[in-house]
Structure 1
Amino acid sequence: MEMAEALRRAPLRFVVSTWPLRSATYVLTGVVSGLLALAWVPVALVVGGYVLMPVLTSPLPAAERRRIALLGLPALPDPHRIPARAGLVAWLRARHTDAATWRELAYLVLHGSVLLAVNVVTLLLGSAPALVYLSGVANLTTSQPGGPASATPATRADAADGQVFALVGGAVLAMLGTAVLLSYATALAALAHGALARLLLSPGDEARVRSLTSSRARLIDAFESERRRIERDLHDGAQQRLLRLGMTLVTAQLELDHDPQAARPLLAQAADEARAALAELRELVHGIHPRVLTDLGLRAAVADLAAGLAVPVTVAMDVPKRLPAPVESTAYFVVAEALTNAARHAAATEITVTGAATADTLTIVVGDNGKGGADPARGTGLTGLADRVDALAGTITLTSPPGGPTALRLELPCSE
């Protein structure tokens, strides 16, 4: 998680970053949603009973899966499987037999009790300097304003000036202390809360198995279609050129026995056909796996993609070493598809590609300032790529509200 990494690497710089604001917002909204869970879960149990309770409580975990975006993480996917048939009865049967439903209920119970108490205590603990200061101010204002009866007016004026100085200085110290304590306290609470939410609200092993099975089935179909395309391209293109090359060489060989001068144009024609066939084969292989990716790696391959677009592309890739070949290939084709969509369909005037590889994860974000509204279901070409990402246990998230901007985030495990 990026917040945990920022806190670990630079704990002092963490206080002046945007992470404390995000974590405080997550904890504050957690108090609100925790109170909702505390109030609504018993009502849903009484009103809906065992049968209808999943219907009545489902909006709360759905909101929690989206709320985790405050921590800089992509919204969690829906872990529930799609019912085999339409209708409320089939939906209820699927929900009751789905382990994710009971993980959600366990999360709501914890959220409305333990997590709610932790969030409230965290806010009170972080606000301790401000509360102590306000308590001191309240005690000061309720004390005798005139001081001892024997005090002279000058002494009283000096005392008043001292009190003003103490109030201003105390306010500054209280604000600084509150900011620092809130930053660290809410960050730790948000990290713990977010980890529990990911554990209980994300798809479980059974959902990942279903997704992987369907992804592999789609990959098999895609590979079969790609194999037929390559065979068709070879048959209609390079194979025909090679046949013509062979016929030209045979004709030239026959002419060499009778008229060597007449064979010269045929040999030149054969050389041209050989170069054309070689170029076509190279183009075909480039579509399967680009040579620059094989020779120079992902960063150079993405820069080569960016240079070939008419739209200005800013590339900032921090990938210091070569990654496993399947990871590089999958990341390359995801970026290529995202850049193509941004240039052709989004009417973007600026595209950015940022990426970094840690010890075990490659993260790439492709963003553009286009019109947005991208939807993989409408044929953006990302569905097949998402299957390749699933096969590597990675995630791909597309955020594209109408009006833009669009951001595609790819995460791939890259450990050897």
Structure 2
Amino acid sequence: MELSEALRGAPLRFVASPWPLRTAAYVLTGVVSGLLALAWVPVALVAGAYVLTPLLTSPLAAAERRRVALLGLPALPGPHRVLDRAGFAARLRARHTDAATWRELAYLVLHGSMLLAVNVVALLLGSAPTLVYLSGVANLATSQPGGPAPATPAMGTAAADGQVFALVGGAALAVLGTAVLLSYATALAALAHGALARLLLSPGDEARVRSLTSSRARLIDAFESERRRIERDLHDGAQQRLLRLGMTLVTAQLELDHDPEAARPLLAQAAGEAKAALSELRELVHGIHPRVLTDLGLRAAVADLAAGLAVPVTVAMEVPERLPAPVESTAYFVVAEALTNAARHAAATEITVTGSAGAGILTVVVDDNGKGGADPARGTGLTGLADRVDALAGTITLTSPPGGPTTLRLELPCSA
């Protein structure tokens, strides 16, 4: 559930949800980073003499892209294009000619001024009930006693009890009012702040077009490589077996004319070759699109994958029985690649696969306790799968610090 959707729900449910803590953390860290932007941007403009300013402000913008994770969103991707040439001069030239650089600078200027003020006002407004209560308590504590003394000790005791009741009741109301006001004030501020961050810090249309073009080119290369692999496997495997099968059958046919007994072992050999060829064809087709996925869906296909692995795999796929075919196929091969990597390369002894589908998004997470250190840039498997995921407007995130554990998270839009 997104923040905007949670805000439209019941107030008590929203206040009791994790969202108030998330938005309060986002606003509080926003005040800190806003003060940093307020101080750093002028320094970067002056010290960088405009030339180095993009490089000096870039780390702060990168931190802001990661900070949106406090709102339950994935970190924003970097908007800058990949350089064809290395070197400081090339990097500096690219940053100056990249529109994303100046969007970052505009965001930081707004962050250190208008957004900083919005965050401070949200915190003050949300804390107003507590501030008013503390102000009243301070006034009561510093006020001088006056007026006539109580007629009896009992009346004085009753007055003191009334003050205690007022203080306790006022404290309860102040806490309740602060919880409600602070929840909604910080949520609205975080919603506006996050929207502006996504607008100015995310890749623009030009960067998305470049990414899609590159992704499509890699997909075409991957499909061409897969076509050549299938052709090679057919030529070297099943085709050779079928050729031997034909020759064996011709020999058996010749033997049948004058020595039927000699043809018997040849027919048995032909049956074995036919069985082996059929097995190779089934294995080849399984690599293209497994039958269990076609017949029974993603849950059964993932369970079948887990059963065929030497490493213990726990599967908890709370997904519909059937999903759109492209979604099922992509999710299946992502899980298959993750399981293969965990078993062969990460030396994992335990793997967990979880899946859920809600709000039109299929989410699959593969965790393993292996040695970690996985890098998609060092292999083509995950890169090719990332292109398939990108073609469906999905996301794939790999977290694999050295020493482990490794977590692969897949999110795909789906209609189920």
When structure 1 is superposed on structure 2, of 171-180 and 331-340 the one drifting more is 171-180
Q: Which whole-Å deviations, capped at 9, do the CAs of 1:240-283 have from their partners, x for residues lacking one?
A: 11111111211222222223333233222222221111111001
Query: 2:299 touches 2:321 (CA, 8 Å); kept in 1?
Result: no
Identity %, equivalent residues: 89
Residue 31 of structure 1 deviates from its aligned partner by 0.8
Q: Which residue of 1 aligns with 2:334?
A: 334
Partner of 1:323, secondary structure, is coil
Query: 1:104 touches 1:200 (CA, 8 Å); kept in 2?
Result: yes
Q: Which whole-Å deviations, capped at 9, do the CAs of 1:169-208 have from their partners, x for residues lacking one?
A: 3223322322232223322322222222122111112112
Query: 1:74 touches 1:397 (CA, 8 Å); kept in 2?
Result: no
**Separation in structure 2 between the aligned mates of residue 122 and residue 367 of structure 1, nearest angstrom:** 39
**Separation in structure 2 between the aligned mates of residue 250 and residue 95 of structure 1, nearest angstrom:** 71
Residue 349 of structure 1 deviates from its aligned partner by 4.2
**Separation in structure 1 between the aligned mates of residue 346 and residue 8 of structure 2, nearest angstrom:** 38
Residue 157 of structure 1 deviates from its aligned partner by 2.3
**Separation in structure 2 between the aligned mates of residue 155 and residue 268 of structure 1, nearest angstrom:** 113
1:193 is the counterpart of 2:193: yes
When structure 1 is superposed on structure 2, of 284-293 and 322-331 the one drifting more is 322-331
Residue 415 of structure 1 deviates from its aligned partner by 4.9
When structure 1 is superposed on structure 2, of 356-365 and 49-58 the one drifting more is 356-365
Residue 343 of structure 1 deviates from its aligned partner by 3.0
1:400 is the counterpart of 2:400: yes
Amino acid at match of 2:284: L
Q: Which residue of 1 aligns with 2:102?
A: 102
Which residues of structure 2 form unaligned runs of 5+?
Answer: none
Amino acid at match of 1:182: L
1:159 is the counterpart of 2:155: no
Amino acid at match of 1:299: R
When structure 1 is superposed on structure 2, of 362-371 and 134-143 the one drifting more is 362-371
Residue 367 of structure 1 deviates from its aligned partner by 2.3
Residue 84 of structure 1 deviates from its aligned partner by 2.9
Residue 114 of structure 1 deviates from its aligned partner by 2.1
Residue 5 of structure 1 deviates from its aligned partner by 4.4
Q: Which residue of 2 aligns with 1:237?
A: 237
Amino acid at match of 1:130: T
Query: 2:103 touches 2:200 (CA, 8 Å); kept in 1?
Result: yes
Which residues of structure 1 form unaligned runs of 5+?
Answer: none
Q: Which residue of 2 aligns with 1:286?
A: 286
Q: Which residue of 1 aligns with 2:82?
A: 82
Q: Which residue of 2 aligns with 1:274?
A: 274
Structure 1 residues 87 and 380, CA gap change in structure 2 (3 angstroms): closer
When structure 1 is superposed on structure 2, of 338-347 and 188-197 the one drifting more is 338-347
Query: 1:341 touches 1:380 (CA, 8 Å); kept in 2?
Result: no
Q: Which residue of 2 aligns with 1:379?
A: 379
**Separation in structure 2 between the aligned mates of residue 10 and residue 125 of structure 1, nearest angstrom:** 21
Q: Which residue of 2 aligns with 1:142?
A: 142
Count of aligned positions:
416
Query: 2:252 touches 2:266 (CA, 8 Å); kept in 1?
Result: yes
Q: Which whole-Å deviations, capped at 9, do the CAs of 1:199-255 have from their partners, x for residues lacking one?
A: 211111211221222222222222222222222221221111111111121122222
Residue 54 of structure 1 deviates from its aligned partner by 0.6
Q: Which whole-Å deviations, capped at 9, do the CAs of 1:12-56 have from their partners, x for residues lacking one?
A: 333333332121111100011111112222232233233221122
Query: 1:127 touches 1:178 (CA, 8 Å); kept in 2?
Result: yes
Amino acid at match of 2:52: L
When structure 1 is superposed on structure 2, of 5-14 and 399-408 the one drifting more is 5-14
Residue 310 of structure 1 deviates from its aligned partner by 3.6
Query: 1:36 touches 1:112 (CA, 8 Å); kept in 2?
Result: yes
**Separation in structure 2 between the aligned mates of residue 202 and residue 142 of structure 1, nearest angstrom:** 54
Q: Which residue of 1 aligns with 2:41?
A: 41
Q: Which residue of 2 aligns with 1:351?
A: 351
Residue 380 of structure 1 deviates from its aligned partner by 7.7
**Separation in structure 1 between the aligned mates of residue 245 and residue 10 of structure 2, nearest angstrom:** 65
Partner of 2:48, secondary structure, is helix
**Separation in structure 2 between the aligned mates of residue 383 and residue 178 of structure 1, nearest angstrom:** 48
Taking structure 1 as the reference length, the TM-score comes to: 0.91
Q: Which residue of 1 aligns with 2:116?
A: 116
Q: Which residue of 2 aligns with 1:183?
A: 183
Q: 1:314-325 counterparts in 2 under 5 A?
A: 314-320=314-320, 322-325=322-325
Residue 293 of structure 1 deviates from its aligned partner by 1.3
Structure 1 residues 195 and 366, CA gap change in structure 2 (3 angstroms): farther
Q: Which residue of 2 aligns with 1:388?
A: 388
Q: Which residue of 2 aligns with 1:222?
A: 222
Q: Which residue of 2 aligns with 1:92?
A: 92
Q: Which residue of 2 aligns with 1:171?
A: 171
Query: 2:394 touches 2:412 (CA, 8 Å); kept in 1?
Result: yes
Partner of 1:320, secondary structure, is coil
Residue 147 of structure 1 deviates from its aligned partner by 6.3
Query: 1:398 touches 1:408 (CA, 8 Å); kept in 2?
Result: yes
Query: 1:61 touches 1:104 (CA, 8 Å); kept in 2?
Result: yes
1:12 is the counterpart of 2:12: yes
**Separation in structure 2 between the aligned mates of residue 349 and residue 172 of structure 1, nearest angstrom:** 52
When structure 1 is superposed on structure 2, of 341-350 and 324-333 the one drifting more is 341-350
Q: Which residue of 1 aligns with 2:208?
A: 208
User: What's the Cα RMSD here?
Assistant: 2.4
